[in-house]
């Protein structure tokens, strides 16, 4: 039999109103998973996802628990359809929490509450308007890193998401990010644009949020996952529970090393990955990172059937 697949979980940015509707219509466990999360938060997340507004679902305080729940819901559907083992897991930013739940390291209810508090800590760390993020396309990682160093001018500014070849997200103080966007265009970037986010994730402005998260994580039961989870910060699996907690804390103010993560997956002989969660953002990124990895999104009955058919072919 070929190598077992990897499982990837998307993070903030893949959410849409009505996401997973089609899957939930066929698999009741999707709505049950959202009801479980709603009980943990005393908020109706399923109503938010199915009948809320784009503005509501895009609020960080809502997006993070919703995306965590969506990833776990899709994983539960997948797990119920096949006994195929999994080689390893990874999640992009918040998606790392979905991965840890799926791998048995973190109880789902605890993870939902953590996601909501993480979002709150992040939002409160930087007053509205004082932080920003932008995507830079068409420059090398080294060019973007150098550009951030030049345009910081004493403020916080860093390359924070290495998403794919030629696609890097920067974050920091708003004025510094604006300078970097203009400089990137001048340096020949295909595109440099501000992102519609209210929090400058994965940069030093998030250290106050990380300190609060560390206190919260200290009280949450964790175990080592049953399946290796590659962390954004280290691109390795945690050696012990203390290291796992520390990696989740550092994730708030250190970069998401997604390109390296995908390459680490293929270096272990994995040739197939499934993106469990709404949309296909990670699938698109992976296509631009490594031709040796086939990534399939799973978010509705059709994509689920395609993935199951691929798995059956692999098993043969």
54 contacts: CB under 8 Å, gap ≥ 6: 16, 17
Give the integer Cα–Cα distance in Å for 175 and 250.
Answer: 25
Give every strand in the sheet of 131-137, ordered side by side. Answer: 157-164, 167-173, 131-137, 191-194
Q: Please measure the distance between the N-terminal and C-terminal CA atoms of the chain and give it in whole angstroms.
A: 7
Catalytic residue among 98, 201, 202, 231: 202
Catalytic residue among 93, 98, 201, 234: 93
Query: Annotated catalytic, 93?
Result: yes
The string over 151-162, giving b where at least 16 C-beta atoms fall within 10 Å of a residue's C-beta and e elsewhere, is: bbeeebbbbbbb
SS3 label, residue 289: coil
Query: Annotated catalytic, 98?
Result: no
Give the integer Cα–Cα distance in Å for 225 and 87.
Answer: 12
Catalytic (active-site) positions: 93, 202
């Amino acid at each position: 039999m070929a190598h077992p697949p990897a499982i990837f979980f998307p993070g903030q940015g893949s959410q849409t109103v009505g996401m997973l509707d089609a899957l939930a219509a066929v698999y009741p466990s999707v709505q049950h998973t959202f009801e479980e999360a709603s009980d943990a938060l005393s908020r109706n997340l399923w109503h938010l996802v199915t009948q809320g507004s784009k503005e509501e679902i895009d609020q960080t305080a809502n997006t993070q628990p919703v995306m965590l729940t969506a990833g776990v819901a899709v994983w539960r559907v997948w797990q119920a359809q096949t006994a195929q083992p999994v080689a390893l897991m990874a999640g992009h930013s918040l998606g790392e929490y979905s991965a840890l739940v799926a791998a048995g390291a973190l109880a789902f209810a605890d993870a939902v509450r953590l996601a909501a508090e993480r979002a709150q800590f992040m939002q409160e760390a930087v007053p509205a308007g004082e932080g920003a993020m932008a995507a830079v396309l068409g420059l090398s990682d080294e060019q973007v890193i150098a550009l951030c160093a030049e345009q910081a001018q004493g403020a916080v500014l860093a390359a924070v998401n290495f998403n794919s070849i030629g696609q890097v997200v920067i974050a920091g103080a708003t004025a510094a990010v604006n300078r970097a966007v203009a400089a990137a265009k001048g340096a020949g970037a295909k595109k440099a644009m501000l992102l519609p986010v209210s929090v400058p994730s994965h940069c030093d402005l998030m250290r106050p949020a990380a300190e609060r998260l560390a206190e919260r994580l200290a009280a949450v039961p964790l175990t080592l996952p049953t399946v290796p989870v590659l962390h954004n910060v280290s691109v390795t699996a945690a050696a012990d529970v203390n290291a796992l907690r520390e990696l989740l804390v550092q994730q708030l103010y250190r970069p998401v090393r997604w390109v390296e993560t995908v390459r680490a997956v293929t270096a272990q002989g994995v040739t197939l990955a499934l993106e469990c969660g709404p949309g296909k953002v990670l699938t698109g990124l992976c296509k631009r990172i490594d031709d040796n990895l086939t990534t399939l999104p799973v978010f509705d009955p059709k994509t689920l059937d395609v993935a199951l058919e691929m798995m059956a072919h692999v098993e043969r």
